[in-house]
Chains A and B, each alone.
Chain A
Amino acid sequence: MDHLLILPLILPLLGGLLMLLPPLSKSRVRQRNFALGLASAMILISILLVVEARPGEIIVYHLGNWAPPFGIALVGDRLSTLLVLLTSVLAFCSLLYTFGPSEEEGSFFQPLMQFQLLGINGAFLTGDIFNLFVFFEVLLIASYGLLMFGGGKRRTRAGLHYVILNLAGSAVFLFALGILYGTLGTLNIADMARQVQLVDPADLPLVKAGGLMLLIVFGLKAAILPLQFWLPAAYSAAAPAVAALFAIMTKVGIYAILRVFTVVFGDSAGDLSGLAGPWLWWLSLLTLTIGGIGVLAAKDMRRLVAHLIIISVGTLLAGIGLEREAATSAALYYLIHTTLVSAGLFLLADLIGRQRGKAGDRLIAARPMHQGKWLSILYLIGALAVIGMPPLSGFVGKALLMKSALAVSEMQWFWPVLLISSLVALIKLSRAGSNLFWHITGEKPVVTPVDRAQLTAVILLLSTPVLMSLFGGPLTELTDATAQQLHDVPGQIGGVLRTSLAEGSN
Chain B
Amino acid sequence: MTLMWIPLLPLLGAVIAALTAHWGRTRCAWATAALPALALALILSLIPQLSETGSIKSTISWIPALGLNLSFRFDGLALLFSVLILGIGLLVILYARYYLSEKDSMGRFYAYLMLFMTAMLGIVLSGNLLQLWLFWELTSISSYLLISFWWHKPEARRGARLALTVTGAGGLALLAGILLLGRIAASFDLDVILQSGDLIREHRWYPAALLLILAGVFTKSAQFPFHSWLPHAMAAPTPVSAYLHSATMVKAGIFLLARLYPALAGTELWFIVVSSTGLITLLVGAYFANLKHDLKGLLAYSTISHLGLITLLFGLGTKLAAVAAVFHIINHATFKASLFMAAGIIDHECGSRDMRRINGLWKYMPYTAALAMIAASAMAGVPLLNGFLSKEMFFAETLEQEFLGSLSWMIPVLATLAGVFSVAYSVRFIHDVFFNGEPINLPKTPHEPPRYMKVPVEILVGLCLLVGILPNIVVGPLLNIASSAVLGGELPDYSLAIWHGFNLPLLMSLVAMAGGLFVYFHRAHLFRFQKQFPEWNASESFEMAMRRVQDAAGKLLDWLENGSLQRYLLLMLMLLILMLWPALTELTHLTGKRAHLPVDIPSLVAGGLLVVAGLGTVIYNRQRLIALLMLSVVGLVVSLAFARFSAPDLALTQLAVEVVTIILLMLALFFLPQKTPKESSPRRILRDICIAGLIGGIIGTICYALMTRELHSISDFFLANSKTGGGGTNVVNVILVDFRGFDTLGEITVLGIAALGIYNLLAGLRLFMPSGDSEGRQWALDRHPMILAVISQSLLPLALLVSVFIFLRGHNLPGGGFIAGLVTAVALILQYMAHGVDWMKTRLDIAYHRMIACGVLISALTGVASWLFQRPFLTSWFDHFHWPLVGEFELASAMVFDLGVYITVVGATLLILANLGQMTTSERPVTKEQD
Q: Give the residue of B66, B137, B565, B747 whose beta carbon is less than 8 angstroms from that of A396.
A: B66
B876 lies within 8 A of A64 (CB): yes
- With A20-B850, A63-B742 as contacts: A138 and B857 at CB distance below 8 Å: no
B546 lies within 8 A of A431 (CB): yes
Which among B66, B705, B853, B870 has the highest number of chain A CB atoms within 10 Å?
A: B66
Instruction: Confirm or deny: B63 has a beta carbon within 8 angstroms of a beta carbon on chain A.
Output: yes
- With A115-B753, A161-B565, A205-B584 as contacts: A61 and B557 at CB distance below 8 Å: no
- Contacts of A216-261 to chain B: CB distance below 8 A: 216, 219-220, 226-227, 229-230, 232-233
A209 lies within 8 A of B151 (CB): no
* B-side contacts of A18, CB under 8 Å: 853, 857
B575 lies within 8 A of A226 (CB): yes
Instruction: Confirm or deny: A472 has a beta carbon within 8 angstroms of a beta carbon on chain B.
Output: yes
Q: Please, how many residues of chain B have a CB less than 8 angstroms from a CB on the other chain?
A: 112
Q: Give the residue of A72, A229, A439 whose beta carbon is less than 8 angstroms from that of B742.
A: A72
* A-side contacts of B741, CB under 8 Å: 63-64
- Contacts of A136-177 to chain B: CB distance below 8 A: 137-138, 141-142, 144-145, 148-149, 151, 157, 160-161, 164-165, 168-169, 172, 175
Q: Give the residue of B179, B554, B709 whose beta carbon is less than 8 angstroms from that of A403.
A: B179
A148 lies within 8 A of B871 (CB): no
* A-side contacts of B717, CB under 8 Å: 70
Proximity bits, B174-193, A CB within 8 Å = 1, else 0: 01100100010000000000
* A-side contacts of B583, CB under 8 Å: 205-206, 208-209, 212
CA distance A262 to B855 in the complex (A): 38
Instruction: Confirm or deny: B172 has a beta carbon within 8 angstroms of a beta carbon on chain A.
Output: yes
B588 lies within 8 A of A202 (CB): yes
* A-side contacts of B871, CB under 8 Å: 1, 65
* B-side contacts of A165, CB under 8 Å: 565, 568-569, 572
CA distance A440 to B157 in the complex (A): 12
CA distance A20 to B556 in the complex (A): 46
- With A17-B856, A230-B568 as contacts: A137 and B747 at CB distance below 8 Å: yes
Residue of B nearest to A279 (CB): B579
Instruction: Confirm or deny: A56 has a beta carbon within 8 angstroms of a beta carbon on chain B.
Output: no
A212 lies within 8 A of B706 (CB): no
How far in angstroms is the closest Cβ of chain A from B844?
19
A70 lies within 8 A of B739 (CB): yes
A293 lies within 8 A of B742 (CB): no
Residue of B nearest to A161 (CB): B565
Instruction: Confirm or deny: A99 has a beta carbon within 8 angstroms of a beta carbon on chain B.
Output: no
Instruction: Confirm or deny: B872 has a beta carbon within 8 angstroms of a beta carbon on chain A.
Output: yes
B175 lies within 8 A of A419 (CB): yes
How far in angstroms is the closest Cβ of chain B from A322?
15
* B-side contacts of A430, CB under 8 Å: 144, 160-161, 164-165
- Contacts of B553-596 to chain A: CB distance below 8 A: 553-554, 556-558, 560-561, 563, 565, 567-569, 571-572, 574-576, 579-580, 583-584, 586-589
Q: Give the residue of B151, B175, B746, B857 whose beta carbon is less than 8 angstroms from that of A137.
A: B746
CA distance A420 to B854 in the complex (A): 54
* B-side contacts of A61, CB under 8 Å: 872-873
CA distance A316 to B747 in the complex (A): 31
A70 lies within 8 A of B714 (CB): yes
CA distance A422 to B853 in the complex (A): 47
Instruction: Confirm or deny: A197 has a beta carbon within 8 angstroms of a beta carbon on chain B.
Output: no
Which among B183, B561, B567, B876 has the highest number of chain A CB atoms within 10 Å?
A: B561
B749 lies within 8 A of A13 (CB): yes
- Contacts of B854-878 to chain A: CB distance below 8 A: 854, 856-857, 860-861, 863-864, 866-867, 870-876
Proximity bits, A53-68, B CB within 8 Å = 1, else 0: 0000000011111100
Q: Which of A39-47, A78-86, A383-391 contacts B (4 or more CB under 8 A)?
A: A383-391
Q: Give the residue of A63, A206, A226 whose beta carbon is less than 8 angstroms from that of B702.
A: A206
Proximity bits, A291-335, B CB within 8 Å = 1, else 0: 001101101000000000000000000000000000001000000
Residue of A nearest to B703 (CB): A178
B753 lies within 8 A of A122 (CB): no
- With A161-B565, A399-B175, A423-B169 as contacts: A64 and B588 at CB distance below 8 Å: no
CA distance A186 to B168 in the complex (A): 52
How far in angstroms is the closest Cβ of chain B from A49?
16
A141 lies within 8 A of B750 (CB): yes
Q: Give the residue of B137, B168, B575 whose beta carbon is less than 8 angstroms from that of A216.
A: B575
B569 lies within 8 A of A293 (CB): no
Instruction: Confirm or deny: B598 has a beta carbon within 8 angstroms of a beta carbon on chain A.
Output: no
- With A20-B853, A145-B753, A213-B576 as contacts: A202 and B743 at CB distance below 8 Å: no
Q: Give the residue of B157, B579, B721, B740 whose beta carbon is less than 8 angstroms from that of A434.
A: B157
Q: Give the residue of B157, B572, B584, B861 whose beta carbon is less than 8 angstroms from that of A220.
A: B572
* A-side contacts of B61, CB under 8 Å: 473
How far in angstroms is the closest Cβ of chain B from A109?
9
CA distance A293 to B558 in the complex (A): 11
* A-side contacts of B756, CB under 8 Å: 20, 108, 111-112, 145
* B-side contacts of A229, CB under 8 Å: 560-561, 567-568, 571
CA distance A427 to B872 in the complex (A): 54
B743 lies within 8 A of A130 (CB): yes
How far in angstroms is the closest Cβ of chain B from A34?
14
Q: Please, how many residues of chain A have a CB less than 8 angstroms from a CB on the other chain?
A: 114
- With A115-B753, A216-B576 as contacts: A293 and B556 at CB distance below 8 Å: yes
Residue of A nearest to B586 (CB): A205
Q: Give the residue of B579, B852, B873 whose beta carbon is less than 8 angstroms from that of A63.
A: B873
How far in angstroms is the closest Cβ of chain B from A30?
15
* A-side contacts of B151, CB under 8 Å: 434, 437-438
A206 lies within 8 A of B560 (CB): no
How far in angstroms is the closest Cβ of chain B from A260?
15
Instruction: Confirm or deny: B88 has a beta carbon within 8 angstroms of a beta carbon on chain A.
Output: no
A233 lies within 8 A of B572 (CB): no
B168 lies within 8 A of A426 (CB): yes
B764 lies within 8 A of A297 (CB): no
- Contacts of A96-136 to chain B: CB distance below 8 A: 106, 108, 111-112, 115, 118, 122, 130-131, 134-135
Q: Give the residue of A183, A209, A294 whose beta carbon is less than 8 angstroms from that of B557.
A: A294
B757 lies within 8 A of A206 (CB): no
- With A63-B873, A64-B876 as contacts: A216 and B740 at CB distance below 8 Å: no
B874 lies within 8 A of A297 (CB): no
* A-side contacts of B550, CB under 8 Å: 296-297
* B-side contacts of A172, CB under 8 Å: 572, 576
B-side residues, CB < 8 A to A, are: 61-68, 130, 133-135, 137-138, 141, 144, 148, 151-152, 157, 160-161, 164-165, 168-169, 172-173, 175-176, 179, 183, 546, 549-550, 553-554, 556-558, 560-561, 563, 565, 567-569, 571-572, 574-576, 579-580, 583-584, 586-589, 699, 702, 705-706, 709, 711-715, 717-718, 721, 725, 738-743, 746-747, 749-750, 753-754, 756-757, 759-761, 764, 849-850, 852-854, 856-857, 860-861, 863-864, 866-867, 870-876
29 residue pairs A–B, Cβ–Cβ below 8 Å: A1-B872, A6-B873, A13-B749, A20-B852, A63-B872, A63-B874, A64-B875, A108-B757, A115-B753, A122-B746, A131-B746, A134-B747, A138-B753, A142-B757, A161-B563, A165-B568, A183-B706, A183-B709, A202-B589, A226-B572, A227-B575, A297-B556, A297-B557, A391-B134, A395-B137, A396-B66, A419-B176, A437-B151, A439-B157
A-side residues, CB < 8 A to B, are: 1, 3, 6, 10, 13-14, 17-18, 20-21, 25, 61-66, 69-72, 106, 108, 111-112, 115, 118, 122, 130-131, 134-135, 137-138, 141-142, 144-145, 148-149, 151, 157, 160-161, 164-165, 168-169, 172, 175, 178-179, 181-183, 185-187, 202-206, 208-209, 212-213, 215-216, 219-220, 226-227, 229-230, 232-233, 279, 290, 293-294, 296-297, 299, 329, 384, 389-391, 395-396, 399-400, 402-403, 415, 419-420, 422-423, 426-427, 430-431, 434, 437-440, 472-473, 476-477, 480
Enumerate the 10 nearest inter-chain pairs by beta-carbon distance, A residue then B residue, closest first: A185-B713, A145-B757, A134-B746, A20-B853, A296-B553, A390-B134, A476-B65, A472-B63, A205-B587, A182-B706
Given A402-B176, A403-B183, 4 more contacts at CB 8 Å?
A70-B714, A213-B576, A279-B579, A476-B64
